Chain A
Amino acid sequence: MPKMTVRQLTKVFGKQPQAALKLLEQGWTKEQIFKETGQSIGVNQISFSVAEGEIFVIMGLSGSGKSTLIRLCNRLIEPTTGSVQIDGEELIGMKPAHLREVRRRKLGMVFQNFALFPQRTVRENIEFGLEIQQVPHGLRQEKAREALALVGLSEWENAFPDQLSGGMRQRVGLARALANNPDILLMDEAFSALDPLIRKDMQDELLELQLTMKKTILFITHDLHEALRLGDRIALMKDGRFIQVGRPEEIMTDPADEFVKKFVEDADLSKVLVAKHVMKRAEAITPDKGARVALQLMMDNGVSSLYIVDKKRTLLGLVTAYDVSLAINTGESLETMMKKDIPSVGPDARLNSLFPLMADLHVPIAVVGEERRLLGVIVKGAVLGGLVGKVNPQQGAEVMPHGFRA
């Protein structure tokens, strides 16, 4: 079961939401409805679900409804229609006391402008959620200190927010949300107010924390690079709707429409794509087959080198056409002729980390999985192809079912 499921969620700002809702169902656009009724559509019939431990990024231009959407998810804004379920429990229509309980236990929120309480010290800020839950003083302090240590601000527990830098303030904001130990973190442009270097630090820190915490995170940003770095999946939002939802590489290589295309145009693909996206099928042979079979295989496939693998496809080495012909002439086995020291990378290596490897290599790079099993091969052409958006069709087909087009 997904951690969180949102169905047909809609928010109309204005006095006659029902009238606007009817028009929405008839397929009117946000703009038309505003002209006709003066009602403003914040979020328009959005559906999605987020799996436990997933980072789901929502990206879109200013005014596209991102903040409205995330606030509908904890009902800081009351939706006009639709459903929000957390662990299968419906939030919409839930009694206030029950809703408070869910907010306390399951939902943490981090704000763009930090929203720290200025009259409280760093530690008192972090204790806020626990104080609301009437956790006893001693336990509260202990948990606040743990959360502070987690974000590396232990020294600062008695400082006031206005004595901290932006990056530190946002760490406090994060610690405040984490102190409650919520299952879900709602982060509305949490890093947008930070300058680029600190922002990157915070992204790294979040990813690192996520390795151990495994929170379900809804992260809003209008920055593509941030979305690509953090997101397990990314939703592109425009005029209150999702235009496309998918994994980062899908968004990059297969944009659903012109809008998405424009959005991703300036992104650096090499930071998104990984080895498995651009690798090709590797031609390989087991050593017992002999040099003549190897030569035939090379000619049939038009390749100038061949990988040597054992029965379980564990990579043993590589032979070039020259090695093979030498083996035929001298009668040596393929195993003695092959080069053992060959370049290889894991399937999740980013393309930009391959560039230095490729610059001074004349042989392709092997992609190996667990126990050095040969998965594929990367040739220079494929990397360049990947950078202009051509992704290996096999791998593309494999990732497709996870995403869908809105």
Chain B
Amino acid sequence: MDSVPKLPIGEWVERIVEALGQHKGILFDPIAIIISGMVTYFTEVLAAIPSVILILLFGALAWVFGGRSSMFFTLLGLFLIANLGYWDETVETLGLVIASALLSITVGIPAGIACARSDTFTKLVMPLLDLMQTMPAFVYLIPAIFFFGLGEVPGVIASVIFALPPIVRFTNLGIRQVPPELAEAADAFGSSRWQKLMKVQLPLAKTTIMAGVNQCIMLALSMVVIAAMIGAKGLGADVYRAVSQVDIGKGFEAGLSIVIIAIVLDRISQHAKQKERKAL
């Protein structure tokens, strides 16, 4: 073993990052602008709505998508958060999560469609997705900070890296699961690829894709504490501060708020689908 010299993988990565770093401005500034713009936008819109009204709105959403019990839980949970005094942080967290999820969806669904179309592309992408999900977040936080500096931007990027894979996987799966006879029927009637995708494949894959969206939101939310460590605001920041100050009470309150948000978002996104019709 010792006779084989150590492969300089670490060095290579450093070189690549350095090389990219030299053109940091052109490459990464637009990305940074888009991301921070999105986060700011969502946070400000949510913050502009009075908390009571926003809570009622969430309650209504939960009622529509999840039914009565979801609504009660949502109202109770969110009023509790407001009562504990974490409402502003919650709004910041929501802005972060919505931006991350939206970015993941915009990139993930087309990528999933491409996977469903090409086995070769799937073979290339799948290991990358595995890597994204298993690589510890801190490892890619370092270059992210290097390129984007501290703040919510590297936080969102870390969230997207972590939350993107399920969307790609589920979209791919959903489209591949469309019964071949239905895809064939679309072709037999002379559909173009686009028509087949829009009129047959995506509508039939919708339930599966929504399951991916649900997972994506949950994973994005799970990154808020890590995002907070590199300067993102929100509930994560409170948890992080509590940990560093060994403040058990505060830590628990902020943690509980995150859990409540998680359950509320889960209820809403899990049921955000129409009554499914069985393929025949």
Contact = CB atoms under 8 A, between A and B. Distances in A.
Interface of A: 71, 74, 76, 99-104, 107-109, 111, 113-119, 128-129, 131-133, 160-162, 169, 180, 186
A103 B188 contact: yes
A117 B189 contact: no
B149 interface: no
A403 to B, nearest CB: 30
Contacts of A107: 188
Give 4 closest A-B pairs by Cβ, nearest first: A104-B190, A103-B190, A115-B181, A109-B188
A118 B278 contact: yes
B280 interface: yes
Contacts of A161: 277, 280
B177 interface: no
A169 to B, nearest CB: 7
A129 B279 contact: no
* Max count, chain A CB within 10 A of own CB: residue among B200, B204, B278, B279: B279
Contacts of A76: 184, 187-188
B175 to A, nearest CB: 14
Contacts of B190: 99-104, 129, 132-133
8 contacts: A76-B188, A103-B188, A104-B190, A111-B181, A111-B185, A115-B182, A128-B185, A186-B188
Interface stretch (B109-117, B191-199, B237-245, B246-254): B191-199
A171 to B, nearest CB: 14
B203 interface: yes
A111 B189 contact: no
B189 A118 contact: no
B234 to A, nearest CB: 38
A132 B181 CA distance: 17
B179 interface: yes
Interface in B199-258: 199-200, 203-204
Nearest to B181: A115
Nearest to B203: A119
B277 A119 contact: yes
A104 B203 CA distance: 22
Contact of A128 (B179, B199, B204, B277): B199
Contacts of B200: 117
Interface in B148-192: 179, 181-182, 184-192
Given A162-B278, A169-B280, A115 B179 contact: yes
Contact of A100 (B184, B192, B199, B280): B192
Nearest to B187: A76
Given A100-B190, A104-B189, A131 B279 contact: no
Contact of A132 (B189, B277, B278): B189
Contacts of A162: 277-278, 280
B191 A132 contact: yes
Nearest to B189: A129
A118 B277 contact: yes
Given A128-B185, A132-B186, A162-B280, 5 more contacts: A76-B184, A117-B182, A118-B277, A118-B280, A180-B189
B204 to A, nearest CB: 7
Contacts of A114: 280
B204 A103 contact: no
Contacts of B184: 71, 76, 111, 115
Nearest to A100: B190
A74 B192 CA distance: 15
Nearest to B279: A118
Interface in B265-280: 277-280
A186 B187 CA distance: 13
